[in-house]
Amino acid sequence: MSTRTAFEINSRKGVTFKQYAVTIKFDVGFKYVNIIKLLVVSNKGFFVQFKVITQFVCCHFCLRFSIAKLFFHYLHDVSFGKWLVFFVNERNTFSKLRVLHDLKYKRCHSNFDDKLESMRLMHAVVPSHKLIKTPEQVAKIKESAKINIAVLDYVAEHIKAGITTEEIDRWVYDVTTKMGGIPAPLNYEGFPKSVCTSINNQVCHGIPSDDVMLREGDIINVDCSTILDGYFSDSSRMFCIGEVSPEKKRLVDVAKESLNVGLSKVKPWGFLGDVGQAINDFAKENGYSVVREIGGHGVGLEFHEDPFVSYVSKAGTEMVMAPGLMFTIEPMINMGKQEIYIDEDNDWTAYTQDRLPSAQWEIQVLVTEDGHEVLSW
């Protein structure tokens, strides 16, 4: 439990305080660390002292900075001159943690920045500010997404057995450009077409061709991405051509359900690993596997941004989902094993190693203050 001892602290400005230190021991793994009081002294005679610090830390160094960040949360919109922050241990000794000049925060930024910084100090992967979309950027991205959704709606109305994937490519190009957009895949890092069309055992990045005709019983992923005024949207859908086998139909359905499972884990200040593990667990529970090498990605201001979104990750790991972060959820669910290979001839198309079918749906998601919003589907 706690012990109380008296001590005196003399600041450089000659202000003397007599208070009581409270020491609490807690287990952080291999050893006990003594949590100490935080004493903050200003050169104008103000001081603040916190009795109990309940922040989990992994080492003494992190403890110091975590306590400093806690202090910021209690003092918004104040400026008491120079603050001296002291770190007090159970032997009544203390050390100066840092000197802060003119401590003043605006509420609109301090909570967000402090949250990111405190999580970074706890060794979490936090997004840079350039990855956080502003309301103005989100509005522009939504306009791009309107085109992307319209293109996929057009494909859904016209796709059938007997058409070639080259025809799908022309549909995508024509509808996108007529609405004022640009197909993002076209000439992206050498990709030759406006859309990716991946059939049966093609995992992703299938290249449209006049030589590839859709047949009864095929399953196909059509992956569309749109640029409008420099803003990007990205989503894909699966289509069953005519009557497909029950095995293929179930694979397509489970792949779509996995999106909702992952989406349920998209919460502000959660971790992308929460999404990844939920999807992976769901796929395995249904007897399927998830591709490791290819995943989702940040999107909006560029076609592919950080972060990489893995679906073989662990809960509590990967990047923090701060409000404003935008990314795709697009797990590739294999009927058989997770191993894939890349076509050596075109260096783009991924296939399942065991030649069994694969299915993938993709949505574009924005993390919001109270949850999430799906922008393109």
Instruction: Summarize pLDDT for 265-322 with one digit per residue, the tens.
Output: 999 999 999 999 999 999 999 999 999 999 999 999 999 999 999 999 999 999 999 9
d(CA 207, CA 196): 6
d(CA 52, CA 64): 14
pLDDT reported for residue 6:
27
**Residue 284 identity:** K
Residues 64 and 134 both lie in one domain: no
Residues 66 and 184 both lie in one domain: no
d(CA 38, CA 23): 11
Residues 260 and 336 both lie in one domain: yes
Pick the closest to residue 103 from 42, 37, 17 (CA basis). 42
The answer to whether residues 240 and 221 touch, using CB atoms and an 8 Å cutoff, is no
pLDDT reported for residue 95:
38
Contacts from 184-191 at CB under 8 Å and sequence distance 24+?
184/225, 184/226, 184/227, 184/232, 184/234, 184/303, 185/223, 185/225, 188/303, 191/348
Residue 326, helix vs strand vs coil: strand
Residues 350 and 370 both lie in one domain: yes
Q: Which residues of the chain have pLDDT under 70?
A: 1-110
Number of domains in the chain: 2
d(CA 375, CA 377): 7
Q: Which residues contact 208 (CB under 8 A, 6 or more apart)?
A: 164, 165, 166, 168, 169, 193, 194, 195, 197
The answer to whether residues 103 and 80 touch, using CB atoms and an 8 Å cutoff, is yes
Q: What 8-state DSSP symbol labels residue 213? A: B
My answer on whether omega of the bond before 323 falls inside 30° of 0, hence cis, is no
Kindly report whether the global pTM for this prediction surpasses the value 0.75: no
CATH number for the domain that contains residue 164? 3.90.230.10
Residues 221 and 319 both lie in one domain: yes
Q: Regarding beta strands 332-334 and 305-309, do their DSSP bridges make them parallel or antiparallel, or are they unpaired?
A: unpaired
Residues 264 and 337 both lie in one domain: yes
Domain end point (choices 74, 94, 121): 121
Residues 92 and 156 both lie in one domain: no
The answer to whether residues 219 and 357 touch, using CB atoms and an 8 Å cutoff, is yes
Please name the helix (run of DSSP H) or strand (run of DSSP E) that holds residue 95, with its range, or none: strand 94-101
Residues 142 and 60 both lie in one domain: no
d(CA 203, CA 249): 16
The answer to whether residues 84 and 11 touch, using CB atoms and an 8 Å cutoff, is yes
Q: Which residues contact 181 (CB under 8 A, 6 or more apart)?
A: 144, 147, 148, 226, 227, 228
Residues 87 and 207 both lie in one domain: no
**Cα torsion 155, 221, 375, 301: sign:** negative
pLDDT digits (tens, 9 = 90+) for 154-164: 999 999 999 99
d(CA 193, CA 117): 42
Half-sphere exposure of 308 (CA within 13 A, CB side): 8
d(CA 92, CA 122): 27
Range of the domain at 62: 3-121
Query: Exposed, middle or buried: residue 277 (CB in 10 Å: 0-12, 13-18, 19+)?
Result: buried
Domain end point (choices 121, 144, 174): 121
The answer to whether residues 252 and 359 touch, using CB atoms and an 8 Å cutoff, is yes
The answer to whether residues 66 and 33 touch, using CB atoms and an 8 Å cutoff, is no
d(CA 373, CA 228): 20
Residues 266 and 309 both lie in one domain: yes
Q: Which residues contact 377 (CB under 8 A, 6 or more apart)?
A: 149, 152, 235, 237, 363, 364
Residues 67 and 191 both lie in one domain: no
The answer to whether residues 326 and 372 touch, using CB atoms and an 8 Å cutoff, is no
- Copy the structure tokens of residue 59: 């080492």
Domain end point (choices 85, 101, 121): 121
Residues 147 and 114 both lie in one domain: no
pLDDT reported for residue 62:
45
